[in-house]
Amino acid sequence: MFGRGFPLLRGLVVLLACGSFPDARAGTLVGTFNPIASGSNVNLTLAGKLDWVHWGLYGDASINRKASVTPQISNFTVLGDTNDFLGAFQYVDNENGYTWHDGTPIVTMTNTITGVWAYSATPIGSGFQLTVPADTTQKTLEVFVGAFKAKGRFTAVLSDGSAPGFTNASGATVDNPNRGPGGVFAMSYAADSPGQTLTITWTLESSQGQGGNVTLQAAVLTAPGANNPAFVVLNAPQNNTVLAEPATMNLEASAQDFDGTVTNVVFYAGTNQLGESASAPYSVTWTNAARGHYALTACAQDNAGGISCSRPVDVFVHGFTGIQSNSVAFPPAAIDLTSEGTADWVHWGLSTNTSFDYKDLVPRQISNFTLIGPGPVRQYSDNFTAFSWSDGTPTTAAIGTPTGVFIYGIDGGFRFTVPADPYPRELRVYAGGFSFQGEFLAYLSDLSAQPFVDTSVSNLFGNQYAVYSIQYRSETPGQQLVVVYRPFALSDPVFGNVTLQAATLQGEAPLVPMDLVDPVVTETNFVFSFSSLWGRVYSVEWTDSLPATNWTTLATFPGTGTMLSVTNEMTNGGQGFYRLRAE
Which pLDDT score is estimated for 19?
Answer: 39
Amino acid at 97: G
Which residue segment(s) compose the domain that 540 sits in?
Answer: 517-582
**330 domain residue, yes or no:** yes
Q: Is the link from the previous residue into 7 a cis peptide, with omega within 30 of 0?
A: no
Q: Is the link from the previous residue into 547 a cis peptide, with omega within 30 of 0?
A: yes
Mean pLDDT of 256-260: 93
Residue 347, CA atoms < 13 Å, CB-side half-sphere: 36
Mean pLDDT of 154-175: 92
**Together in a domain, 202 and 274:** no
Query: At 487, is the pLDDT very low, low, confident or very high (cuts 50, 70, 90)?
Result: very high
Per-residue HEC secondary structure of 93-116 comes to CCCCEEEECCEECCCCEEEECCEE
**335 domain residue, yes or no:** yes
Mean pLDDT of 427-453: 97
**3 domain residue, yes or no:** no
**Together in a domain, 56 and 189:** yes
How many structural domains comprise the chain? 4
**Each residue's pLDDT tens digit, 533-571:** 766 788 888 787 888 778 888 888 877 767 888 887 765
**Together in a domain, 172 and 257:** no
48 SS3 class: coil
Q: How far apart are CA 67 and CA 337, in angstroms?
A: 43
pLDDT surpassing 80 at residue 509: no
**Each residue's pLDDT tens digit, 304-340:** 999 999 999 999 999 999 999 999 999 999 999 999 9
Q: How far apart are CA 575 and CA 382, in angstroms?
A: 63
Which pLDDT score is estimated for 572?
Answer: 61
- Which of the listed residues 318, 338, 355 is the one where a domain comes to its end? 318
Which pLDDT score is estimated for 510?
Answer: 61
Return the CATH number at 476: 2.60.120.260
**19 domain residue, yes or no:** no
**542 domain residue, yes or no:** yes
Return the CATH number at 564: 2.60.40
**Together in a domain, 530 and 571:** yes
pTM score of the predicted model: 0.77
Q: How far apart are CA 417 and CA 445, in angstroms?
A: 10
Q: Are residues 50 and 221 in contact, defined by beta-carbon separation less than 8 angstroms?
A: yes
Which pLDDT score is estimated for 325?
Answer: 97
Q: How far apart are CA 499 and CA 462, in angstroms?
A: 13
**Together in a domain, 205 and 104:** yes
Which pLDDT score is estimated for 8?
Answer: 32
**Together in a domain, 253 and 137:** no
Mean pLDDT of 442-451: 97
**103 domain residue, yes or no:** yes
Quote the mean pLDDT of the chain. Answer: 90
pLDDT surpassing 70 at residue 412: yes
**Together in a domain, 84 and 214:** yes
394 SS3 class: coil
**Together in a domain, 431 and 461:** yes
**253 domain residue, yes or no:** yes
State the first-to-last Cα distance of the chain, in angstroms, to the nearest integer. 104
**Each residue's pLDDT tens digit, 9-53:** 333 333 333 333 444 568 999 999 999 999 999 999 999 999 999
197 SS3 class: strand
Mean pLDDT of 199-218: 93
Q: How far apart are CA 174 and CA 370, in angstroms?
A: 43
- Residue 111 backbone class (left: φ over 0; alpha: ψ -120 to 50; beta: rest): left
**Together in a domain, 404 and 255:** no
* Higher local confidence (pLDDT), 411 or 510: 411
**Each residue's pLDDT tens digit, 106-134:** 999 999 999 999 998 888 999 999 999 99
**Together in a domain, 64 and 208:** yes
Query: At 409, is the pLDDT very low, low, confident or very high (cuts 50, 70, 90)?
Result: confident
Per-residue HEC secondary structure of 354-385 comes to CCEEEECCCCCCCCCCEEECCCCCEEECCCCC
Which pLDDT score is estimated for 109?
Answer: 97
**22 domain residue, yes or no:** no
Which pLDDT score is estimated for 4?
Answer: 31
**Together in a domain, 310 and 215:** no
Q: Are residues 433 and 466 in contact, defined by beta-carbon separation less than 8 angstroms?
A: no
Q: How far apart are CA 159 and CA 133, in angstroms?
A: 10
Query: At 494, is the pLDDT very low, low, confident or very high (cuts 50, 70, 90)?
Result: confident
Return the CATH number at 179: 2.60.120
**Each residue's pLDDT tens digit, 42-101:** 999 999 999 999 999 988 888 999 998 999 999 999 998 877 778 899 999 999 999 999
**Together in a domain, 349 and 435:** yes
Mean pLDDT of 209-230: 94
- Which of the listed residues 222, 243, 262 is the one where a domain comes to its end? 222
- Which of the listed residues 222, 249, 274 is the one where a domain comes to its end? 222
